[in-house]
Amino acid sequence: MKEFDYQQDYKQTDCRKNPELYRVGRGEQGVLMVEPYKGEILPHWRFKTVAIAEESSKEIMTLFEKYRTDDDFVGMDMARKFIQMGYTRARRYANHKGGKKYDADGEVLPYELNEEKAAAAAVFKACWDQIRADKDYLARQKKHQAAFG
């Protein structure tokens, strides 16, 4: 079986019609390439303030549950990835002003805690923890990986 190439294999591919092409991947890998889910979830993904993060995570979790109802594991996993990315990006902005972690030389920039962004990250982290503990989601993930890699 050939190695899956996110850049090429997701380009112009509808993973709802072809779920066998979707690979769970590591972390947030492929989150901005998998359609139609990117187009459905991305408009709701925001983390600037705690209130915005709460509304965003609520909308994405609603989509997660809709995908579950529709028996759409790929959608569920994509919602998980956006939730995870909400956490990681908000944490980056919480730790580094402007969200830049490295300077031009690849050195880590100074750590500056932004309490608002840290609290926004915590909102997404709670949702991410909920998904990671969801036995139905985990069973579907295992089933998908066994069937399709």
List pLDDT tens digits, range 79-130: 999 999 999 999 999 999 888 889 899 998 888 899 999 999 999 999 999 9
**pTM of this prediction exceeds 0.95:** no
Asked if residue 86 belongs to a domain, the reply is: yes
Asked if residue 9 belongs to a domain, the reply is: no
Based on the number of CB atoms within 10 Å of its own CB, is 6 exposed (0-12), middle (13-18) or buried (19 or more)?
Answer: middle
Residue-level pLDDT at 53: 98
In whole angstroms, what is the distance from residue 62 CA to residue 144 CA? 22
Contact criterion met (CB below 8 Å) for 124 and 87: yes
As a residue count, the chain comes to: 149
* Total domains in the fold of the chain: 1
Please state the separation of Cα 137 from the chain's center in Å.
14
Confidence of residue 1 (pLDDT cuts 50, 70, 90): very low
Residue-level pLDDT at 11: 55
**What angle (nearest 5°) sits at the alpha carbon of residue 66, between those of residues 91 and 20?**
85
Asked if residue 88 belongs to a domain, the reply is: yes
Asked if residue 2 belongs to a domain, the reply is: no
Which domain does 129 fall in, by range?
Answer: 29-148
Asked if residue 82 belongs to a domain, the reply is: yes
Asked if residue 59 belongs to a domain, the reply is: yes
Q: Which of 50, 55, 47 is nearest to 119 (CA)?
A: 50
